[in-house]
Structure 1
Amino acid sequence: MNGELAVAPRDGGVRTDLGEAAGWPEYAAELRGVLAAVIAASSVEVLLIDALALGERLPEELAWLRNGVAVTPVQAVDLFVEMLGRGTSPFFRLLGADVLRIEQSWNAVVFLPMTQEVYDALDDLSDEHLEIQWRRSEPDLLMVEAPVEVVADEGFWTAVRAAAQSGTTLLQERWAFGVCGSRWFLVTPENVEEVISEVQPRSLVRVAADPDLRVRLMDRSFTAFTAPLKPGELACHEVPGGVEDEDEVAEVTGAGFDLFLAGAALDELYAVVPDADGVVRRQWEDPKQFL
């Protein structure tokens, strides 16, 4: 990447109200044309969903959405513009090999980091309803500064099996960012193989072995569960930044979640699930760097 195209709506109402604005249909139609033209100029045949973030559960029609999923250019344009119009979860960016990236800001501005070659291949872009600006930038390699280096291989799963034999074992599979981007399991000797078979490639798996579920560190991240824990997938309530006072704790417990797992309990046994060929193709920040 050595530059980016910034595309913004000329209509101020679109910037604030997104898909609810009167001028949205014109902006969306013109934006679709620009995105399609840029993708065509990049000569990529598929784009990958990346940096998926979920503030709420995926609707049924988008249940297939995952980091690393490949979509066609037509699908990519439709998904991205629909996401932009909603202004709510799910959020994601699109990667076109190493020549193009498509991402959004909060006010309907779209950024398209791209190579100089892609930009030079563009013809005149329609801008009746858009403000389009090209600006040069330094190379952006999308590198994770401190990635998880442990692979969820047979050695890792052997450690998980041993933990399940020894006591209460909780496993988190994080497949997207946000409070709705993961699922939890109580792993037992009887279901450990089933759980292992369910986790998906490119997920970050973190395991808490025999944790103390009575500790309540209110000012730190935690996940709350309903007692008693039952084997299999668990209902939970994630609180990423902790709570400020006992009233907020009461809200969590009042909703039926009375077992608390401190986020730090997941910082000892974790790994990234590789693709079927054993290669890890998704980087996650190493949680230990935040201790």
Structure 2
Amino acid sequence: MTVLLATSSDWPVGEPGAPALDAALAERGIDARWAVWDDGTVDWDSADLVAVRSTWDYMARPTAFLDWARSLEPSRLLNGADVFAWNVDKDYLTRLSGVPVVPTLTADDRAGLADAVRRFGRTVVKPRVGAGGAGVIVVDDPDDERLGQDVVDHPALPTARGPWIAQPLVESVRTVGETSVFVLDGVAVSQVDKVPGKDEIRVHEHYGGESAPVALSPELAELASAAIVAAGGFTGRPLDYGRVDLLHHEGRWCVSELEVTEPGLYLDVLPANAGAFADLVAARLDTPDGR
């Protein structure tokens, strides 16, 4: 059976720690290789299954990325283009129900963002379509001149533009950090705790953040699994995989984001995720329509 692992030209041989996934798939008798999603020479129809992995340049061209995903046979694409369509726009956080979510407002312009700051006080503003922490700012003044402006804050990431979402700053991110729980084939399998770098709220490595695997918390496993089930309601079917990012806000854990398009598996710090993801791939190859 042949599997194509979709990546970007910046990561032609896969995400950090990719050799662990390569080995896990090979151990299960699966012929897998990495392919750049926008490489016109790739024969995607030749694959028995396509798994989107490190397509982390999609935020600069979300329409092209979604057009590519929709061109693939739905039964052979994990999660699916319809899942990606709602997930690439963080507006879904305003519609996710049944689990606690960090309060979220959307804004199309400076006036809308100013209203959000008046409501939340110290506010995190980020593009609705974005990844890697690009364009995230913290604002406590509704007259802040940065509101509604394009942001260029890292040379490896594209310019961050609106529309935006606004959320109250979850202060615990500076102390407790952010937690990610990986849910594969409906089962919470692992957890990574992340802390931001000095003077930052972003936990991403390119902003100085650090990540470490920890024992899976039963409480957070239950919450993450419930969040993935709730997200399945957007398309009316269970999700194949997801990473649930969580913050501790006002005395409880809340969903801050759902990564169900191209979530990094943190294979460089949690190589055991490779086996769990390979098991998911093997199960789908055995029963491609059995999601």
TM-score (norm 1): 0.32
TM-score (norm 2): 0.32
